[in-house]
Structure formats: C-alpha cells, structure tokens
Structure 1
C-alpha cells in the first residue's frame, strides 16, 4: 500500500536535499578550486562550466567576510581551520593601516585597489566577526567586532536622521552620496548578530534607532515597502527580495521589533512583494519593481529566491508553508545543478549569468538555516 507523505514530511525531505547539495557540492568549491592558497583568499568567482577560477581582477573584503561567515557556520572537517585562515586574511589583507577600517578591494597581487570606505563592507566585517566569535570564542574576533562597530558609529553615522553614509573616501571624508537601504539592511543584520553573541544593550538601542530612521526615510506609506533610495529620489525602485530579507531579519528578533511600526509596514510589504514580484507559476522572484508594483527588472537572481524562502519559513503560517512547499518543488530544478548553481535566470528559465560568485553561498546558508529551524519540530 502506497502512503502519501504528509506536507511536513515532504517539506523536511526537500530541505534535507538542499542541505545535502550545499554540503556535497557548494562548500567544497571554496576549499578546492575556489581557494587561492597562495593569497589565502577565495577567488571572486568560478566558471559555471568547469568550476575553474575566473581571471582575477580583484579580491573584496566583503567577499572574504561572507566566506568567513559560511565556514564559521560549518561543522565539517577542516571548517574551523579554514575559518581561521579567512579571519586572518580579512583583518590583515584588507586593513587600512593609515586611515583605519577596511579598503573595499585589493588587486591580484594583494595591493590596495579600491580604497573607498564602504558601509556594506564594514557591516559584513561585523557580521562575520560575530559568527566567528560565536564559533571560536577568540578575543581577536571580539576585538575586531568591537573596533569595527565603533568605527561605523563614529565615521559612517550621518549627522542627523539616524541613517548612515553608504560610502566615504579613504580618509572617511564625505563623498556627497545619499544613504542607501541595502547597506543599512546589512548593518541591521550585523548588529543583530553582534547583539546575539555579546548581549550588549547598545546594539539593541542602535537597532531600534535604525528601525525608526528606515521607517521615516525609506518606507513608502502606500505599500509599506522599503525603497532602495530615500523617498523622493528620482528613479527609485522596490526590490522584492529586500522586502523578504527585511521581513526575515525583523522576525528573528521579536523582543526588539514585534509590534513596531517598521514590522507592521513589512507585513504589508511582504504581501505587496508576493503579489507583484513573484511568478506563482515558477515561484521565481523578480529583481525589481516600480513603486506602483509594475515590472521594472524581471531577472530572477538566486539571492532573491533564497530570501523569499527564508521569509516564508520565518512567517510559518499555513499560507506561507503552502508557498514554501511550491518553492521547494521549483527552486532546485531551476537554480541548482551538479556543479553548483545558476546565479541569474530569465523569467523563462534561460541562464542569464553563468558564473559562481563566492558571495552567493552566504545567501544559501542563511536561507537553509532558517528552513531547518522552521521545520525542526
């Protein structure tokens, strides 16, 4: 007699299959062909055809930090030693000894390339150090975490409004650019991770301030969505993947955010992004929408797909789990393969980007962790 598996059993099996692919296919890429042992850094990207490293133009501090995060999460043989190498490379190769902080990138020979100071980069240093501190307990990780947080608050914080500069010159002088939601979102992610591992109240206080500033500066009152640029900027847009990512981040810290105006807005943003930004036939998430929800960029980038799944998992109600079950049917067949993944597809499923960036496993790791936690019971 054939017994049809329950939805919960089917979901758990699909999640286990994703994790098996991650452990067996994706992680080994970055200790094998994706690891430059001479530089003690991951290559920026591998070929999707043969997994060989693509020609080196740069190494980014942010990419090193993301790799540090993923190997700090691993329990497999050699993961701790590999994380230790990444930590040393992050704090030595990218450090700006003259001005403080971290340069954006170095060249193929390890010399400074782009020396701008980038909030996105520094947020990921905090995030990765929090993960490595949790894994290792090393005082060096705590020192780099604390020092980078102080630098962010002293150098990147805007004079008013509670927001942060997205980018500054090498000496931290203002470059005249506008704040952007994406680095502020990743700073939120970083401070949540730092708060979890240190339990320092200063992080909780700053997170509450960031939530208020984002609500005032970026949230479209009509939809609840967080725009990419401050409200009123020409050419503004909504990225569905970021609505799902913000939703997940706030949902992981109910003690800080439950019932907050930003959390209430994001509940609406979730529905808006699902209605306008997800093709329910393929469960594919579009890259960008106009503020009214009309299509802007239909490309489907893998990170947005994983953020959709993470948001469904943390939402966790029957409606979300039904969509998650459909996503689990569609995503592996469309985006994963025996050599890794497809970085970007067209709505019809044609491969638009064939390389394998070293930054993408971070998105897979955070999504798969949320999926596993949602089905642990």
Structure 2
C-alpha cells in the first residue's frame, strides 16, 4: 500500500477524526447518559437496541459498570455532568458488586439487584482496578484510591499463581475452579497495572507487571510465528485473535517500561503476519479468530467494532502510518458508525449481524480515540 506523505494525509485525517470524535460526544455518549442509564439501580443497562430502547434486563455485570466508570472518568471536564455520573458509577460498583463476606467483587447481579453469578473472575477485577485508577486520577476521591489498593491486594493474594501469571476465575470463596491463566484477562490486568503506574509511583505493581509480561512471553507466545495465543502453549484447541494482538501491541509499544521487553519484540515482529491473515485487504475489516496452522485459516470471520478500534489504535504507533491510519479510520466510520450509534458486528460477508449496542463498547472507542488524539498531537 503506498504511503501518502504526512503533509498530504494529515489534514484529511485531522478533519475526519474531528467528525468521528464529534459523533462520539453527540451521539454515543448521550445514549449512556439517557436511555442506557437505569436511574433506579444507578447502573448502565447491558445493551440498547437499534431504536435506543434498553434490552430487557437479565443481569448487570461489574465489568460493564467499571468500563462505564472509565468512560465517564475520561470525560470529566469534557462532557457536562461526567463527574456526577462517574461518582454514581463508583458508588454502584461498591454497593451492588462488592462481596462483604469474602472480599473482591461478584461477576454479576440479577435484574432485581441480587447477586447472580457470584464467582470471582480476573477480567472483572482487572477492569475495576483500571477504572479506579482513572477515576482517582480525575477525582482524587480517597475512597477510589482505597478501592484501587484493595483490588491490587486481592489480585495479588487470590489470583496470582506464583509464576507471574494469574488464575482466570475462582469460586466466590476463592476456591479454585482449575481454569488456569487465559490471555484476555491477563491483557486487561497489564492494562490496569499500566493505568495504576500512570497515576502514582508503585514499585510493587511495576514488578508484577514486568513479571506478568515475562511469563506471557514464555507461556503464550508461539515460538514459530510470534503471535500471542488465547490459552497457554500446549493447551488443547488453541487459537489467536488479531484484535488482541493489536491491543497488546499498543499497550507494550506505548509504555517506556515495556517497549523493549521480549513480549514487545515478539508482537512487533508478528505485526505484519497478524495483518496479513487477520485484516481483509479489500475493506480493512479485522477477523475475529484464526487458527495457527501456517496459512492463517480463519476460525471465525466475524468483524467486531472493538477489534477494528484496536487495530486503528495500534497503527498510530507504527512508523510512516498516516495513509493506513486514514484508511482504517474511514473504514471504522463507514462500516461501523451510523447516525443512531454503531454496529457491533458484521458477519464474514460484511452484513450487519448485531444491531444491539452494548454498554461495554464505548470503552474501546474512547481508548482508540485517545490514541488517535495523541497521534495527531
């Protein structure tokens, strides 16, 4: 693909980003200030339909609450009443999901607010840590820092396996479920550790992050292709996801601490391989799941908005990338954004396959746009 020079691509890219960012602030954020907000529970609904009606509430997840806490924390000073909403979400996280008996946070509550899935999963705890770091940074609420400290303590004491990795899921009372470590929760834990280090000096968290990345390289990176598998090497029925490769790449490349780690070098080398098999050249769509058999056979060719956003964000950290960043921002706008919000998924033929809008997706758009804004600065 020919690269436009920075001088020719940049004005068009800046103008397009202005449009996309305005769409986020004018269309997407108001969905979660209005129809997506259950004022009685002080929680976001799990999803809205195409007409902006909440889907019937089956459950509320702590992770979804935490992602929205991050969203509104990131909008403090940008959007009216973002601080009020962030404070409400922080209180709801503690009120609805904290396990007073065993510590930690439940996975979900039911539509009436009673504990539903009471297991303790790393993915949820990582997002609580991530959100509290951002909220504390913006609010300086001492309770936010104490919750951040509690999350760090419980992750280190309950989930850590002693080799730099962490169990994916445990029983409510912390008994093992024999899940072992899984890539996705560990990535979000790395993200949460980075968010913590961005707001304070924390040698213990820095050590845990470096040990995590060392262990990820040793136990998850395929030695031949350099891609990060979803399960540890040697696990039955393993695969890799281009969206997660790009998400990890951004975290590692954007961190001075991690930039020259073995894990970073592996994903940097594998970037072109992931693009070759994971991104459709015709339209820039990112495939969901691939088998690692040398020919990149797709296991699931669903095109998801979050993977699209992660690829775009990763590209902002590649050299001489203006033309491809522009192309991918155009693809995101044309294929996934619309006047009423966004399309969550397209199928392998590019047809819209999900019209609901989950409360968790604005987190991916917000982090993507944050990366784009930094790139354009």
The two structures have a TM-score, normalised by structure 1, of 0.96
Give the Cα separation in 1 of the matches to 2:46 and 2:355. Answer: 14
Moved more, 130-139 or 265-274: 265-274
Give the Cα separation in 2 of the matches to 1:149 and 1:59. Answer: 23
The structure 1 residue matched to 2:105, chosen from 76, 98, 102, is 102
Which residue matches 1:369? 370
Which residue matches 1:240? 242
Secondary structure at the counterpart of residue 33 of structure 2: coil
Give the Cα separation in 1 of the matches to 2:202 and 2:164. Answer: 20
Give the Cα separation in 2 of the matches to 1:27 and 1:122. Answer: 24
What are the equivalent positions in structure 2 for 1:261-272 lying under 5 Å apart?
261-272=262-273
Deviations 1:66-121 (A, max 9, x none): 00000001021110001000000011110011110000000000000000000000
Deviations 1:145-188 (A, max 9, x none): 00110000000001x42210000000001111121000000000
Which residue matches 1:257? 258
Which residue matches 2:170? 168
Which residue matches 1:145? 148
The alpha-carbon deviation at position 252 of structure 1 amounts to 1.5
The structure 1 residue matched to 2:314, chosen from 311, 314, 318, is 311
Which residue matches 2:356? 355
Give the Cα separation in 2 of the matches to 1:348 and 1:372. Answer: 31
Which residue matches 1:280? 281
The alpha-carbon deviation at position 281 of structure 1 amounts to 1.2
What are the equivalent positions in structure 2 for 1:1-377 lying under 5 Å apart?
6-48=8-50, 50-74=51-75, 75-158=78-161, 160-254=162-256, 256-292=257-293, 293-315=296-318, 317-318=319-320, 320-376=321-377
The alpha-carbon deviation at position 374 of structure 1 amounts to 0.3
Secondary structure at the counterpart of residue 224 of structure 2: coil
> What is the count of residue pairs matched by the alignment?
367
The alpha-carbon deviation at position 322 of structure 1 amounts to 2.1
Give the Cα separation in 2 of the matches to 1:98 and 1:33. Answer: 34
Give the Cα separation in 2 of the matches to 1:131 and 1:324. Answer: 27
Consecutive unaligned residues of structure 2, counting only runs of 5 or more, are: 1-6
Give the Cα separation in 2 of the matches to 1:287 and 1:268. Answer: 20
Give the Cα separation in 2 of the matches to 1:333 and 1:40. Answer: 33
Give the Cα separation in 2 of the matches to 1:329 and 1:355. Answer: 22
Secondary structure at the counterpart of residue 299 of structure 2: strand
Moved more, 359-368 or 287-296: 287-296
Give the Cα separation in 2 of the matches to 1:329 and 1:192. Answer: 30
Secondary structure at the counterpart of residue 116 of structure 2: strand
Preserved contact between residue 164 and residue 208 of structure 2 (Cα < 8 Å): no
Secondary structure at the counterpart of residue 297 of structure 1: strand
Consecutive unaligned residues of structure 1, counting only runs of 5 or more, are: none
Moved more, 6-15 or 110-119: 6-15
Preserved contact between residue 284 and residue 347 of structure 1 (Cα < 8 Å): no
The two structures have a TM-score, normalised by structure 2, of 0.96
Give the Cα separation in 2 of the matches to 1:16 and 1:202. Answer: 39
The alpha-carbon deviation at position 273 of structure 1 amounts to 1.1
Runs of 4+ in 1 over 2 A off after TM superposition: none
Secondary structure at the counterpart of residue 257 of structure 1: coil
Give the Cα separation in 2 of the matches to 1:149 and 1:235. Answer: 32
The alpha-carbon deviation at position 314 of structure 1 amounts to 2.0
